[in-house]
Amino acid sequence: AQSVTQLDSHVSVSEGTPVLLRCNYSSSYSPSLFWYVQHPNKGLQLLLKYTSAATLVKGINGFEAEFKKSETSFHLTKPSAHMSDAAEYFCVVSRMDSNYQLIWGAGTKLIIKP
């Protein structure tokens, strides 16, 4: 069965410093993986997705994620944080053993200090 674990409920970084949001998954199949972002009181927006092509995936707003099968990880990174990056980030895996289901991590709240 698929599952997703986001290793940190909160991450706090200073503006201009790198961001690392960690995600581990378990899957019996080759998964599709996504990162979504939710800004305060807003809906959810796709940041990036991995679909078995390149293992390094580039997304919007300077974010990228690397799929590491040996570590079952899909960590989200950004070289330099901006105040507008303050939001909650969700790592998501797509199931393959049923009609459809996205399995969501519990979320990581990213706090940017000035």
For other proteins, the binding residues in 6-35 under the rule CB under 8 A are 9, 32, 34
Three-state DSSP state, 64: strand
The Cα 92–Cα 36 span in angstroms is 8
Asked if 89 interacts with other proteins (CB under 8 A), we say no
For the segment 30-59, give every residue that binds other proteins (CB under 8 A).
32, 34, 42-46, 49, 51-52
Q: Which residues contact 56 (CB under 8 A, 6 or more apart)?
A: 64, 65, 66, 67
Nearer to other proteins, 86 or 96 (CB): 96
Q: Which of helix, strand or coil describes residue 69?
A: coil
Residues in touch with other proteins (CB under 8 A): 4, 9, 32, 34, 42-46, 49, 51-52, 90, 94, 96, 99-102, 104-107
